Amino acid sequence: MRAALKKHNIAFRERLAATRLIAILRAEDTEYFADVAQVLYDCGVRAIEATLTTPGALDAIAAMQVELGPDTMVGAGSVRTVSDVDSCAAVGADFLVTPTFSAEVLERAQRYAIPVVCGALTPTEIDGAWRHGAAVVKVFPAAQAGGPAYVQAVHAPLPEIPLVPTGGVTLDDVDAYLGAGAFAVAAASPLIGNATCGGRLDELSERASRFVTTAGKFA
């Protein structure tokens, strides 16, 4: 199982390195997820997270995988329990995203060889998540912790750990985070806006194109 997880983690990092960006979909329901995902895909986003806090997220993940095809990774966010891992594995989620560091969740994901973007904040949590098999470590909430300066400070003593700052990441932050040593960034409302609630898709396309272009400079 460890060998399989290592292989899948490497493949996940290689694919994420091509864009340096994860788009986060979160809403009261999944009515517009398919439309939003298609716009993101058309703009070059190749890693999309649908949070489990959105009712129907698991079905939406399975549907988006079919609609977008194998060159897009569609994962589940807000994964907090072993039961969550089992449910995500059952629908074939390409990766999992957690808000916190949970050894139990990481160990369960290892059974399925599913890459985990593991949430952590302090250097101790970040190091622990990496040692327990995270594919990359999500620094959350990054903006509130100090933004790019915090990521740079953490990256210095832990250079081998791929960090993905999340939480309040705006377009203006992308250059700074990736320049500070972040492996990739993950963005929700600054990227998605109100598109998951029926907002204008042309405006989403404009934002997504800018995010992709900016992050792509580091690919």
Task: Kindly list the catalytic residues.
Answer: 49, 138
CA angle 109, 9, 191 (to 5 degrees): 90
Phi, psi of 196 (to 5 degrees): -75, -5
Alpha helices in the chain (DSSP H): 2-17, 33-43, 57-68, 82-91, 103-112, 123-131, 142-145, 148-155, 171-179, 189-192, 201-216
AA identity, residue 146? G
Residues 206, 192, 23, 74, Cα dihedral to 10°: -110
SS3 content of the chain, % helix, strand, coil (to 5): 50, 15, 35
Distance between CA 49 and CA 187 in Å, rounded?
10
Residue 4 to residue 34: CA distance in whole angstroms:
31
